[in-house]
Structure 1
Amino acid sequence: MGVEKQDEVKMKKTVFLGALTVAGLAAGLASAGTLDDVKARGKLNCGVTTGVPGFAEPDANGVWQGFDVAVCRAVAAAVLGDNMAVEFVPTTGKTRFTALASGEIDLLARNTTWTMSRDVDLKFEFVGVNYYDGQGFMVPASLGVSSAAELDGATVCIKTGTTTELNLADFFRANGISYEPVPIETGSEAAQLFLAGSCDVYTTDRSALAAQRANFPSPDDYVVLPDVISKEPLGPLVRHGDNDWGDIARWTLNALITAEELGVTSDNIAEMAAGTNNPEINRLLGSEGTLGEMLGLDAEWAKRAIMSGGNYGEVFESNIGTATNIGLSRGLNAQWKDGGLIYSPPFR
């Protein structure tokens, strides 16, 4: 290789490494900025839905409750020591990504499907899956259909700007049938139009269908069809480049999952935090090791997150489980030991 060629290679290598350094510095600044901003602000800005029963909606006193809301509160407890230090920002399918990308919110915790394009092209980072779902269809029982394949020519209420919209088009095309879309932006709008008869079918994630149906005046008049036409891994997400912040959100969710696996509950956590003969429980709750320090938090960050609303199983059962009016069974969202997909990397 000639001297000029060698110099050219060296120059390209220098430019490449320099670019990596700049990118790394930018990512570091972004991540440090988010955590610092949350601490300085004294509250977490968390994006949620505009309202899905059991998952995210304000109660009669205006206090946000629900399965997804619990993720926001757990992160606030871990970082700020106060699970009520959260500003909830309702977002639609269209506005949620703009709110996150612009910095209006620090974390998006609503029924958002993890896809490649959202992860890569939109520059977001999903920190885990808190609910494994699939798209389904709800119809009036009086329609007399037992399968979505029988819906040729139906009018369908569909949220715009969602994977649901794309899945619907794919399903009807693959089955050689047609439909007339009725575009809507929020779940409450869809429920109103569906109940008013403005559309024959309402399609979205099956969990959301069950939640909306439970709040109908006459739930038995409506049927969620057995068809599941997609994979919908739903989970919280942050912006790309927020590596440290992403770690905090990811491991807070993992703490809730691991707590259930290890039998740490809201009832026994105070006793277990004093120390046990299980090293992983001790590392999780901060009586051993330096896992909190690795995140830039104190030793009891995970203990606070778990105390916020309980472990993953407690959060599930109290908000959307079989004892609630939502009535969802664990199914795919059971722990891996019980045949489900809920699984956390080890706390080590």
Structure 2
Amino acid sequence: MHRDLSKRLGATALAAALCLGLAGTASAQAPQANTFDVIKARGQIVCGVNTGLAGFAAPDSQGVWRGLDVDLCRAVAAAMFGDASKVRFVPTTAQQRFTALQSGEVDLLARNTTWTLSRDTSLGFNFVGINFYDGQGFMVKRSLGLKSAKELDGATICVQPGTTTELNLADWFRANNLRFTPVVIERLEEVNQAFFSGRCDAFTTDVSGLAAVRSTQGPRAEEYVILPEVISKEPLGPVVRHGDSRWADLVRWVHFAMVEAEELGLTSANIDQHLNSQNPAIQRFVGAAGGLGQMLGVDNRWAYNIVKQVGNYGESYARNVTPIGIPRGQNELWTKGGQMYAPPMR
């Protein structure tokens, strides 16, 4: 950052060190009981979600959880119990989320979590799909006049600990021979407050998160701009524990069912009209043929229940993510130039 720009920014740096925050959770032991059977006996899924991220997981004015990740949890409940309401949401911070899953506090983590090699192996997790393709970016005040993240030399940057965001931030600044001072704050609400109050020159997280946070500012949202650089790949998806193959299979195919439904043109509004369809793919989907639910240990109408009660992937996206200003892009169906793709359901 040029000296005159540093003067314009003028934010006070807080002494804080980058800390991935994963090592302490790696040794935690997962419960030995079969998760699928435990959930069936309990009659309810316990789903770990964000503490509050618009478009993905946040309580509305009546306290009802809404969002793309929330819809996935409800879809799993619809598939397993035939009732999308049979789920309890547990808010988790970036640092708490892995311990919550490892310890058995939650059955499933659907919390804008990036799929990485280390998390998929040494932490004892299985990522069962990607429900949102994302990448890390930077947000700043429009009044600073910045056009590129490469103008952030010497800036203070708000970031959450225990995230891939921290490592990406350090790697990118080092690779570009730039300096920065991290302002590390655990809870998202406090990070937001720090950034919008001017304690940080920039805020970095996934671009979806930046858009979600900006959308909470109402008329002031136009005062902030997301810079053009996307500095990482962030494939976000649901996570379960190692050793729970039956449970992992169900969660995986619930996500795929929502994608497949959109491709087949099945929506919550029209699926009943297709119950007697002669299309073999639709017959298998609605449970009229193929016995797919039996293979997963649930009712053969499992996919029908998902779409009827929650909707397809496109419906969920339009209801939750589109309103915060994020176009489909990579998250469009593969038939429309995106990366959303379901293996054959047969």
CA distance in structure 1 between the aligned counterparts of 2:105 and 2:292, rounded to whole angstroms: 29
Percentage of identical aligned residues: 58
Residue from 206, 222, 239 that aligns with 1:237 = 239
| Equivalent residue number for residue 62 of structure 2 | 61
Unaligned runs of 5+ in 2: 1-29
CA distance in structure 1 between the aligned counterparts of 2:52 and 2:308, rounded to whole angstroms: 25
CA distance in structure 1 between the aligned counterparts of 2:308 and 2:131, rounded to whole angstroms: 18
Residues 276-326 of structure 1 show CA distances to partners (whole Å, capped at 9, x for unaligned) of 1211111111011111100111111111112222100000001111xx2x0
CA distance in structure 2 between the aligned counterparts of 1:287 and 1:188, rounded to whole angstroms: 47
CA distance in structure 2 between the aligned counterparts of 1:346 and 1:253, rounded to whole angstroms: 13
Give the deviation of 1:271 after TM superposition: 1.7
Give the deviation of 1:37 after TM superposition: 1.2
1:292-307 equivalences under 5 Å are: 292-307=293-308
CA distance in structure 2 between the aligned counterparts of 1:304 and 1:186, rounded to whole angstroms: 35
Residues 199-219 of structure 1 show CA distances to partners (whole Å, capped at 9, x for unaligned) of 010000000100110111401
Residue from 224, 227, 231 that aligns with 1:225 = 227
**Residue 35 of structure 1 aligns to which amino acid in structure 2?**
F
**Residue 228 of structure 1 aligns to which amino acid in structure 2?**
V
- How many positions carry a matched residue from both structures? 316
**Residue 63 of structure 1 aligns to which amino acid in structure 2?**
V
| Equivalent residue number for residue 345 of structure 1 | 343
Whichever structure has more helix as a proportion of its residues is 1
Give the deviation of 1:89 after TM superposition: 0.6
CA distance in structure 2 between the aligned counterparts of 1:98 and 1:88, rounded to whole angstroms: 16
Q: Give the aligned CA root-mean-square deviation in angstroms.
A: 1.3
Give the deviation of 1:189 after TM superposition: 1.3
Residues 50-87 of structure 1 show CA distances to partners (whole Å, capped at 9, x for unaligned) of 00011101111111111110000000111112111111
CA distance in structure 2 between the aligned counterparts of 1:167 and 1:293, rounded to whole angstroms: 43
Question: What's the secondary structure of 2:193's corresponding residue?
Answer: helix
1:190-269 equivalences under 5 Å are: 190-217=191-218, 218-269=220-271
Residues 215-252 of structure 1 show CA distances to partners (whole Å, capped at 9, x for unaligned) of 11401110000100000000001001000000000000
CA distance in structure 1 between the aligned counterparts of 2:187 and 2:59, rounded to whole angstroms: 15
Residues 118-165 of structure 1 show CA distances to partners (whole Å, capped at 9, x for unaligned) of 001111101100000000000001112111111011000001000000
| Equivalent residue number for residue 332 of structure 2 | 334
| Equivalent residue number for residue 92 of structure 2 | 91
TM-score, structure 1 length as denominator? 0.89
| Equivalent residue number for residue 73 of structure 1 | 74
Give the deviation of 1:191 after TM superposition: 1.1
CA distance in structure 2 between the aligned counterparts of 1:226 and 1:170, rounded to whole angstroms: 18
Question: What's the secondary structure of 1:168's corresponding residue?
Answer: helix
**Residue 220 of structure 1 aligns to which amino acid in structure 2?**
E
CA distance in structure 1 between the aligned counterparts of 2:261 and 2:95, rounded to whole angstroms: 34
CA distance in structure 2 between the aligned counterparts of 1:186 and 1:148, rounded to whole angstroms: 24
1:1-348 equivalences under 5 Å are: 33-217=34-218, 218-272=220-274, 274-321=275-322, 324=323, 326-348=324-346
Give the deviation of 1:275 after TM superposition: 2.4
| Higher CA-based Rg | 1
**Residue 232 of structure 2 aligns to which amino acid in structure 1?**
S
Unaligned runs of 5+ in 1: 1-26
Give the deviation of 1:35 after TM superposition: 1.3
